Structure 1
């Protein structure tokens, strides 16, 4: 289930209530998103629905701070970012933050990375929009090197230099927390198969989803990696309809029962994990918790 890190309920009460209740219900993971700007006049449309960014994004918490707070209120659920725009800060700082969270949560962190879609956010944090793929590759190199260092670590690359340093901070999960990527183009899907731990897609018709996953599997096999060790964590941004939606509209919108049916079908198709975000529309924390309980009950009944 997604944490309320966006919108009017983004705060300590909302996060603690959702975290505790979701864990008690039997949810396996909690997820936080990442925004730094809500442009008044965006240069590109939101990549979903009618192209208008949800108003809830105008109020946004820091995703890693929110997950740290959730970690303190839970003991079992995993804690994921969907997604963290990891290019917005120097890789060494990112490594420190992620390692700290994995350590404090006793090894419950899943690192979901993405690029975002707004050039304005990159301008706001002083990072070039161009060259994102190369920046991600070197960021991954630094994360892997930092986490895998026995004692001393150094890095010299085209974009970043890390002087030789002692590394005493170690993640709880060794060699490091799983890293998943939100990607939809062939290059990104191949990157997942070649070097990452899984894929973070957003809900779409399942034939398209599994066809894209086949690219990941083929690339993993070509890289002599075990595809069965990789996983799909599927984000579902719920837009509830008052009446049964046309089949072609699901999963973009539908009734709660239609989303339950979609989740069951996703599991049968081979999706390893699915998480729901009820906060993309105007619901209170109490309403979101109620929907989450009904959703989980419906999925289990199948």
Structure 2
């Protein structure tokens, strides 16, 4: 199992100097990866589709740009993989997205994992001036453009949404044939796309029965496409709410002691290339506490569990 953490970029952590210091410290602790998230705004009125009409966490109203936050992380680290979980792929034209991601892969000397998703908040699409409808089709063509830019020379693309005349587009990413592309999502169409097109899935810690049903969709789609499902990576995000005492076992996929949350993550991570992504920005505002909890997760997940 690989262990990664969220890049500190929200709320009180939305300070480039603090982000840099904490990313360097997280690499020193021994994590495998660092992942930046993507938010544009936090509506005052609870947005459509959010949890039971609850207001969004205030932290999401203060944020750093994910690719620039990853650039900061790249300049202060040497070893860890750097990923986006998830970058909302449709908020900019795919050619511009390809240029930014190529540059970041070069800055990080080939350490970039490209995590893309569609997002879930209609209000952000409205604010960005991007159509909410036909998002799946737009993502499919976005992936086509990225592949063309990264793997072809010269580059040409003729699609229903974007056209690129035969062109020179250099440099290419350091990783060849391209950086790994992981896709997020929690619907059957999203998991079908993971199995058919992606290098892996950006999932989340969730009840096992729900997880197994979703993953079966990706596995079957991979097989239909002539791909080996065992070759797909899985990265499970947990927005951990850490409690001092034990929580209800039914909530352990996201809430409880460090041991409880890790016990559930161990149940989900059954393949050698599975990875957990622990986001601690909603459970503490303190950089010191963030790093203490990160060390606790690493100790729990890397070292053998002692007999009780």
Alignment TM-score, normalising by the size of structure 2: 0.93
Q: Could you say what secondary structure the match of 1:89 adopts?
A: coil
The one of 220, 223, 238 aligned to 2:222:
220
1:9 paired to 2:10: no
Whole-angstrom distance in 1 between the partners of 2:121 and 2:93: 19
Partner of 1:19: 23
Whole-angstrom distance in 2 between the partners of 1:147 and 1:160: 16
Q: Report if aligned partners of 1:45, 1:51 keep a CA contact under 8 Å in 2.
A: no
Deviation at 1:130, TM superposition (A): 0.7
Deviation at 1:269, TM superposition (A): 6.8
Q: Report if aligned partners of 1:210, 1:269 keep a CA contact under 8 Å in 2.
A: no
- Give 5+ residue unaligned stretches, structure 2: none
Q: Report if aligned partners of 2:44, 2:55 keep a CA contact under 8 Å in 1.
A: no
Partner of 1:285: 287
Partner of 1:131: 134
1:194 paired to 2:199: no
The one of 53, 56, 59 aligned to 2:56:
53
Q: Which moved more, 1:135-144 or 1:205-214?
A: 205-214
Partner of 1:30: 34
The one of 118, 121, 124 aligned to 1:118:
121
Q: Report if aligned partners of 1:154, 1:165 keep a CA contact under 8 Å in 2.
A: yes
Q: How does 1:145-294 map to 2 (within 5 A)?
A: 145-149=148-152, 151-268=153-270, 272-294=274-296
Whole-angstrom distance in 2 between the partners of 1:178 and 1:6: 25
Deviation at 1:49, TM superposition (A): 7.1
Deviation at 1:270, TM superposition (A): 6.9
Q: Which moved more, 1:16-25 or 1:172-181?
A: 16-25
- Give 5+ residue unaligned stretches, structure 1: none
Whole-angstrom distance in 2 between the partners of 1:301 and 1:50: 40
Paired residues in the alignment total: 300
Partner of 2:299: 297
Deviation at 1:210, TM superposition (A): 2.6
Alignment TM-score, normalising by the size of structure 1: 0.95
Whole-angstrom distance in 2 between the partners of 1:190 and 1:30: 26
Deviation at 1:271, TM superposition (A): 6.9
Provide the aligned C-alpha RMSD in A.
Answer: 1.6
